[in-house]
Amino acid sequence: MDELHRISKNNLMVSLSYTGLVERIALAYELMEMSVNMLSSTSYPYFYIRVKAFALNEIKLAIFHLLSGFYIEYYRTLRHILETFIQAYFLETTVEEEPQRKMKAILKELSRMRRRGRSFDLKMISSLSALSKPERRRVLRLYRRLTEYQHPSIAQMVNERIHTLASFSFSLEQYSKGVDLLLEVLDVGLSLLCSLDDTIRKALCSYEELLKALDMKFTLRKLS
């Protein structure tokens, strides 16, 4: 009887932890969706389309992988989402053109980058003018952490029990870690949105307490 009580109590604690983490994901996603919808599709056409049409859906896909226990695919999807935010911001801020010709100019530049085999590279992170040097280093560390799951090492397979990463099996430890990484990725995206459009920054000021609760340091810095 005591053993059954212990198991029930443990299951309850896992359930409560799981529910709290799900709520954090939902709130962060709502902030991202709201911010993207506020972005001017005329002034920032590539960022708007790239994030609204693709990144938001990829976030949903990542959440599906996370909730399903398919953690390794989750981390890989997170890396691509982070790349999307960074690349879109990079192109919007480095390609100078009149608004009505901006999208065409960005697509031309993107085509040129792809021919050179570098539609994304780490130099884009170092050129993020919206972030301070320490923040850029943090983004780089985040990117490298996510990159570890593209080709896991043998040591990583052993230390992190790769069967929980590559199969549909729930792990509260991996789940909690995954939520933290998702919030970091969305924090980067929100801070870049704030830098592009001051309307978004002002709107997020109303959610300062929520941003603090989600520990979104990049975005909070934009509000100060």
Question: Splitting the chain (224 residues) into consecutive groups of 10 residues, what average pLDDT does each group show?
Answer: 39 48 89 92 87 92 88 91 94 83 87 83 89 93 90 66 61 85 96 94 94 94 91
What per-residue confidence (pLDDT) applies to 209?
Answer: 93
Helices H / strands E in the chain, number of each: 13, 0
DSSP 8-state secondary structure symbol assigned to residue 215: T
Q: Measuring CA to CA, how many Å separate 25 from each of 31, 61, 99, 179?
A: 10, 13, 34, 7
What Rg do the C-alpha atoms of the chain give, in angstroms?
19
C-alpha 33, offset from chain centre = 12
Q: Terminal CA-to-CA distance of the chain, rounded, Å?
A: 55
Q: Which residues, 6+ apart, have CB-to-CB distance to 99 below 8 Å? A: 42, 43
What per-residue confidence (pLDDT) applies to 9?
Answer: 37
Q: Which two tokens stand for residue 222?
A: 């934009």
- On whether the CB atoms of residues 92 and 100 are closer than 8 A, the answer is no
Number of domains into which the chain is organized: 1
What per-residue confidence (pLDDT) applies to 216?
Answer: 95
What per-residue confidence (pLDDT) applies to 8?
Answer: 39
Q: Measuring CA to CA, how many Å separate 1 from each of 8, 12, 13, 15, 32?
A: 11, 16, 18, 21, 47
What per-residue confidence (pLDDT) applies to 18?
Answer: 55
What per-residue confidence (pLDDT) applies to 202?
Answer: 94
Per-residue b or e along 149-188, where b marks 16 or more CB atoms closer than 10 Å to that residue's CB: beebeeeeeeebebebbeeeeebeebbeebbebbbbbbbb
Q: Which two tokens stand for residue 134?
A: 């320490």
Per-residue b or e along 79-102, where b marks 16 or more CB atoms closer than 10 Å to that residue's CB: bbbbbbbbbbbbbbbebeeeeeeb
What per-residue confidence (pLDDT) applies to 5?
Answer: 37
Nearest CA to 189 among 29, 19, 23, 21? 29
What per-residue confidence (pLDDT) applies to 12?
Answer: 34
Instruction: Please give the residue range of the domain that contains residue 129.
Output: 2-223
